[in-house]
């Protein structure tokens, strides 16, 4: 009822409805427990970027439900969700989120890119989140569509993406590097330059079968 396919964005009452449902969710609702071996805090600093695991709970043409598992110190690099509305609910652990939206260069007459491959963006979130916490929502052009996750402690994050990623429909993931913005904005806005980059070589992801309660189509 909430997701109606590509090119649509859920209405505010629908966002509020789904957000309220997700805010009440617990790890046990998807078969997880903080006592599972994966979530026992351990130091992976010497191993580079640890492997990130994901599992798909449900997928249709209109939306997908996935869980991301991040070991301690794992990083999902700065990436986007083109044309998508995404609900993110941290279920277990603690992570730092940094996110951006595209900025209008006309908002700052002094903004001149030092490189034609750079595009101006505004910082939306730069904070630590520890479960249990409320659901965050990002939209195609607002809410922090481009974001980076860094696991401070082993994490599990439930993501609902509408519509899902699709290479066939030109909704593939793009990665970015953020470059500091040298001047101070007169209105105090926090700006940065973003540059498209190849998928980082140290990003390792694997998929596992969903093992939680069965999801009904009804």
Secondary structure, 3-state, 61-116 = CCCEEEEEEECCCCEEEEECCCCCEEEEEEEEEEEEEEEEEECCHHHCCCCCCCCC
Question: Which has more pLDDT, 35 or 26?
Answer: 26
Residue at 179 is within a domain: yes
Residue at 143 is within a domain: yes
Count of structural domains within the chain: 1
Residue at 55 is within a domain: yes
| Cβ-based burial of 128 (10 A; exposed 0-12, middle 13-18, buried ≥19) | exposed
Residue at 176 is within a domain: yes
Residue at 54 is within a domain: yes
The predicted-structure confidence for 108-127, as pLDDT tens digits, reads as follows 555 556 567 889 999 999 99
What is the β-pairing status of strands 175-180 and 52-59? Answer: unpaired
Residue at 216 is within a domain: no
Write down the pLDDT at residue 106.
66
Q: What is the chain's length?
A: 218
Residue at 214 is within a domain: no
Residue numbers of the domain that contains 108? 12-207
* pLDDT class of 168 with cuts at 50, 70, 90: confident
CATH number at residue 29: 2.60.120.10
Residue at 6 is within a domain: no
Peptide bond just before 11 cis, omega within 30 deg: no
């Amino acid at each position: 009822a909430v997701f109606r396919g590509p090119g649509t964005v859920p209405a505010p009452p629908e966002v509020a409805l789904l957000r309220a449902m997700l805010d009440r969710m617990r790890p046990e609702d998807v078969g997880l427990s903080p006592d599972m071996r994966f979530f026992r805090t351990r130091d992976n600093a010497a191993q580079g970027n640890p492997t990130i695991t994901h599992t798909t709970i449900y997928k249709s043409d209109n939306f997908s439900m996935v869980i991301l598992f991040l070991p301690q110190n794992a990083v999902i690099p700065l990436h986007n969700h083109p044309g998508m509305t995404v609900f993110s609910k941290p279920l277990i652990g603690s992570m730092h989120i940094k996110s951006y939206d595209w900025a209008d260069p006309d908002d700052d007459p002094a903004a001149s890119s030092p490189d034609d491959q750079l595009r101006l963006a505004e910082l939306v979130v730069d904070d630590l989140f520890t479960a249990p916490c409320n659901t965050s929502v990002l939209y195609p052009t607002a809410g922090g569509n481009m974001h980076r996750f860094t696991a401070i402690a082993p994490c599990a994050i439930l993501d609902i993406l509408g519509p899902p990623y699709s290479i066939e429909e030109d909704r593939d993931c793009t990665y970015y590097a953020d470059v500091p913005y040298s001047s101070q904005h007169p209105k105090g806005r926090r700006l940065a330059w973003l540059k498209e980059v190849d998928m980082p070589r140290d990003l390792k992801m694997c998929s596992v079968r969903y093992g939680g309660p069965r999801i009904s189509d009804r």
